[in-house]
């Protein structure tokens, strides 16, 4: 996988490989702050953050929202993992997730697990806006994949 990076809400650059370190990286692509199903998924992942951490999985959420909206959403939902803005669709395009919903271009809902050696080892790409995984389902799938790769 190419080394990716996006600007964080505080204007610093978040380099995916540096953030990941020797852990697994869980990329959660969501449509935006306006998507209630997406917000529910983020809250569910957040409620399981200790389980993700103990499984050496670092979540990272990405949407085409502005940095301002991403920052507000992170604060409002009290998320303990980064939410990054990809208004240029650089990472969304890298994973071929760009789609159109009503009048705007957005991201397909997707969950992608990256191994410590930077390989995609699991992906679930939603076909429709409501085709998302629950936080528990994400955790269970990730743990199962990790266990089978050890």
What is the per-residue pLDDT across 64-103, written as a single tens digit (0 to 9) for each? 999 999 999 999 999 999 999 999 999 999 999 999 888 8
> CA triplet 108, 114, 116: central angle to 5 degrees?
165
Does position 131 have pLDDT exceeding 90, yes or no?
no
- CA 112 to each of CA 12, 60, 133, 150: distance values in angstroms, whole numbers, following the listed order: 23, 10, 11, 18
Q: What is the CATH number for 12?
A: 3.40.30.10
Mean pLDDT within 7-14: 90
Alpha-helical segments (H) within the chain:
16-20, 36-47, 49-54, 67-77, 90-94, 135-149
Q: Which domain holds residue 117?
A: 5-149
Q: How many domains does the chain have?
A: 1
88: number of Cβ within 10 Å? 11
Copy the structure tokens of residue 12. Answer: 């610093």
């Amino acid at each position: 996988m190419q080394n990716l990076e996006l600007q964080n809400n505080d204007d610093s650059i978040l380099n995916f490989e540096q953030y990941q370190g020797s852990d697994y990286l869980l990329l959660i692509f969501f449509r935006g702050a306006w998507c209630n199903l997406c917000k529910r998924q983020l809250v569910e992942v957040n409620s399981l953050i200790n389980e993700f951490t103990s499984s050496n999985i670092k979540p990272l959420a990405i949407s085409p929202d502005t940095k301002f909206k991403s920052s507000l959403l992170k604060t409002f939902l009290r998320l303990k993992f980064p939410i990054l803005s990809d208004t240029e669709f650089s990472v969304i395009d890298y994973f071929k997730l760009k789609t159109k919903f009503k009048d705007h271009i957005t991201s397909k809902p997707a969950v992608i697990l990256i191994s410590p050696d930077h390989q995609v080892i699991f992906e679930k790409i939603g076909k429709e806006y409501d085709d998302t995984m629950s936080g528990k389902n994400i955790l269970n799938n990730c743990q199962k994949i990790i266990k089978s790769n050890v």
